[in-house]
Chain A
């Protein structure tokens, strides 16, 4: 589903990713770990086309990202549900409107949109909070709104950047369980996290980044 071939990314003279190869198969779930600055965010940004690689090839859902034109980027991003550490909710949108945003831009009509938003909110257990503004929610709830927004469009891939960064262990476990549930219905999931304790308790392969160099189980690494 996501594959990196000899990908390098340099910022000025500093290398953020060096000769990165990996392959996340359709329906797989994996963690991406490493110190801050190890290149986790860079890797996710490359998948989202927020950055372009200095060299190498990235293929997402059989599409070579290097060949995408600017106008094709939105369609690419719609395949991916992105969850942020700071959840990136719009504070003057209600919970419902935040979650409805990806549907709105995809041109769903009101009826289909409402049905899907409520299903997504139900999934993360926030159906009763749809009319509230995000600032009155706890940070765990806000994170779950962010997750509902990421899944509402039924993406093929979910990327999460430190989704449990600000949460206590109980909430973190709960969030991870949500991701596992999406994975069980066939969504490919890649989660960047430095919460090693939590990651090691879960039965998913771990990719490690250390100063831009990648390592991990052979099932994920390409030659």
Chain B
């Protein structure tokens, strides 16, 4: 069907001359309407293009969504990290409690909890199930412990490490244990995933440009005759380009809508298993779908990339079609 075909007027418009901006608006409005109508001339072919684009968008968008929320989870776990301070065997109950009180006064410590050696043994018996072996021991092998929870402002890995060093220098303290290694590993894993996702996003954005470019190239090819005649009767490049740019815009919009639906479905599909994972870390973390802002970014990115892909192709292709 005719791509550039003028729409017939049903009612007469006013007769005074139009201002250039009014004319520009009217011409764009006409192309918006005609390019929209054009979409439904070949709905199946368009749907295939939209799906291809949607998949290319869903992958990086989904990974970015997961990543941003995993980072949030990482921070939560980081916040709940604590330091185990093991007291020397010769430290008395009173000494232990005194140290605990001293620690609580420090600004970089939110809470310090004293666990006596006896209490530690009871807890360990309960959680390990090694009752018999532990009962056979003549003396309690476990030291008294102070569980130190850093204040919120001191939760970074560096701050915790620094605090641990300071604690180690105190009297009557045998050992200070911070399980930083797995936090570091988590952070490294998140960093790697982040880089991977950015790389993938870049590749797939390029893919979107190629897909839209190729679609537009085919559209131009199938309208060669129309373009030739329009060039001969004096159609400008801008006039010829416009319907293809709008076609790109529509493709981007529909691809974004499809990608959004896939993302929402995917989120609810992943949600139960991720919930279990979060619960195993005592986190109330929940996988959120795309936010309003996120959805807007998805749509703008998709439309922007598609229009860019169309414009990169359309200028070059139109130059190839010259009346001979």
Contact = CB atoms under 8 A, between A and B. Distances in A.
Interface in A18-48: 45, 48
Nearest to B1: A92
A173 interface: no
B5 A97 contact: yes
Contact of A105 (B9, B15, B225, B239): B239
A67 interface: no
B237 A71 contact: yes
A77 interface: yes
A88 B234 contact: no
A88 B236 CA distance: 19
Interface in B4-45: 4-9, 12-13, 15, 18, 23, 26-27
A189 interface: no
A101 B230 contact: yes
A109 interface: yes
Contact of B234 (A106, A110, A113, A114): A106
Interface residues of A, number: 32
Interface in A70-114: 71, 74-78, 82, 88, 90, 92-93, 96-97, 100-107, 109-111, 113-114
B236 A93 contact: no
B26 A77 contact: no
Contacts of B231: 74, 77
A50 B323 contact: yes
B232 A114 contact: no
Contacts of B324: 45, 50-51
A76 B23 CA distance: 21
A164 to B, nearest CB: 20
A102 B13 contact: no
A144 interface: no
A9 interface: no
Nearest to B239: A105
Listed residue (B6, B12, B230, B324) with the most chain A CB atoms within 10 angstroms of its CB: B6
B104 interface: no
A149 interface: yes
Contact of A104 (B6, B18, B322): B6
A78 B9 contact: no
Contact of A78 (B23, B228, B234): B234
Nearest to A88: B229
A90 B230 CA distance: 10
Contact of A113 (B6, B233, B236, B323): B6
Nearest to A70: B237
Contacts of B233: 77-78, 82, 101-102, 105, 149, 153
Interface string A165-207: 0000000000000000000000000000000000000000000
Contacts of A51: 324
Instruction: Say what secondary structure dominates the interface of chain A.
Output: helix
A48 B323 contact: yes
Contacts of B228: 88
B13 A75 contact: no
Contacts of A101: 4, 6, 229-230, 233
A111 B7 CA distance: 11
Contacts of B4: 101, 104
B232 A77 contact: yes
Contacts of A96: 8
Nearest to A103: B6
Contacts of B199: none
B156 interface: no
Interface in B200-239: 225-226, 228-237, 239
Contacts of B7: 110
A115 to B, nearest CB: 9
A93 B5 contact: yes
A149 B322 CA distance: 20
B12 A105 contact: no
Interface in A115-133: none
B2 A97 contact: yes
Given A50-B324, A107-B27, A110-B12, A75 B6 contact: no
B227 to A, nearest CB: 10
A186 to B, nearest CB: 20
21 contacts: A50-B232, A50-B322, A50-B323, A51-B324, A74-B231, A75-B234, A78-B233, A78-B234, A88-B229, A93-B2, A97-B5, A101-B230, A105-B235, A107-B27, A109-B18, A109-B23, A110-B7, A110-B12, A113-B6, A114-B9, A149-B233
Interface of B: 1-2, 4-9, 12-13, 15, 18, 23, 26-27, 225-226, 228-237, 239, 322-324
Given A103-B6, A106-B234, A110-B13, 18 more contacts: A50-B323, A51-B324, A77-B233, A78-B234, A82-B232, A92-B1, A92-B2, A93-B2, A101-B229, A101-B230, A101-B233, A102-B233, A105-B236, A105-B239, A109-B13, A110-B8, A110-B9, A110-B12
